[in-house]
């Protein structure tokens, strides 16, 4: 698993870069424009993020117990992206709830994965932190839906910036991992 992550470090960093750029663009927009932008680009982001998670899950051979988590996360991301892009006019409360539950589920999966791979993945705390931020974002959206889209758009934009930075850091941390040294330490790197 670790060898696959290290070989594909750039997918993780690219996933983070997309999130970071999206968050910065949203922070620079007027709240109403950002809300409309959010519907289209959260759908696109969920789709692309799901594809990347699927790619990492499928590339990860031989079958590993954590492979299923990545594939499940990828399928949910792809389905979320398609659903959002197919009905952008339903950007009201339903979309906000959908995004909230997607963030919570993704965060829980990242949390479980990080705990399970704590000793095998360098800087696994970054994945754990991403999971915590995802669950926190989803919970804040669920609690604040009635407050309005402005606050939710701001929270999501800030989340995307933090999520992006953490994924970029994780990707480059994996790039610098020494597979040979990890393999000699007795860790399973296949």
User: Per mean pLDDT, which range of 2-6, 68-72, 107-111, 152-156 is the poorest?
Assistant: 2-6
Please check whether residue 32 is in contact with residue 95, taking contact to mean a CB–CB distance below 8 angstroms: no
pTM of the model: 0.53
> With 70 as the cut, is the pLDDT of residue 69 above it?
yes
62 against 68, higher pLDDT:
68
The residue with greater pLDDT, 137 or 1, is 137
Q: What angle do CA 50, 51, 57 make, to 5 degrees?
A: 90
3-state secondary structure of 122: coil
Q: What is the pLDDT of residue 65?
A: 63
**What's the CA angle centered on 168, arms 29 and 23, to 5 degrees?**
10
Provide the mean pLDDT of the chain. Answer: 82
For the chain, domain boundaries: 2-180
pLDDT of 6 reads: 80
Residue 13 has a pLDDT of 92
Least confident of 69-78, 112-121, 144-153: 144-153
Position 49 scores a pLDDT of: 92
pLDDT at 189: 46
- Is residue 37 within 8 Å of 26, Cβ to Cβ? yes
| Span 13-52, pLDDT tens digits | 999 999 999 899 889 988 777 777 777 877 888 899 999 9
| Distance between CA atoms of residues 123 and 165, nearest Å | 14
Task: Give pLDDT, residue 186.
Answer: 47
| pLDDT category of residue 147 using cuts at 50, 70 and 90 | low
The single-letter DSSP state of residue 90 is: G
Q: Is the pLDDT of residue 190 over 50?
A: no
- Tens-digit pLDDT profile for residues 87-115: 876 756 677 788 889 889 999 999 998 89
**pLDDT value, residue 79:** 93
Share in percent of the chain as helix, strand, coil (round to 5) = 85, 0, 15
């Amino acid at each position: 698993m670790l060898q696959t992550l290290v070989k594909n470090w750039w997918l993780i960093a690219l996933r983070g870069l997309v999130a970071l750029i999206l968050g910065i663009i949203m922070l620079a927009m007027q709240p109403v424009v950002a809300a409309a932008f959010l519907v289209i680009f959260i759908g696109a982001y969920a789709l692309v993020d799901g594809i990347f998670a699927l790619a990492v899950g499928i590339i990860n051979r031989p079958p590993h117990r954590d492979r299923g988590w990545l594939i499940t996360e990828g399928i949910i991301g792809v389905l979320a992206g398609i659903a959002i892009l197919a009905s952008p006019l339903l950007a009201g409360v339903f979309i906000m709830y959908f995004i909230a539950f997607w963030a919570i589920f993704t965060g829980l999966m990242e949390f479980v994965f990080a705990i399970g791979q704590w000793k095998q993945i360098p800087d696994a705390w970054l994945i754990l932190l991403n999971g915590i931020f995802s669950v926190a974002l989803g919970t804040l959206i669920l609690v604040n839906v009635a407050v309005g889209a402005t606050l939710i758009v701001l929270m999501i934009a800030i989340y995307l910036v933090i999520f992006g930075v953490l994924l970029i850091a994780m990707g480059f941390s994996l790039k610098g991992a020494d597979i040979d040294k990890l393999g000699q330490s007795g860790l399973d790197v296949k």
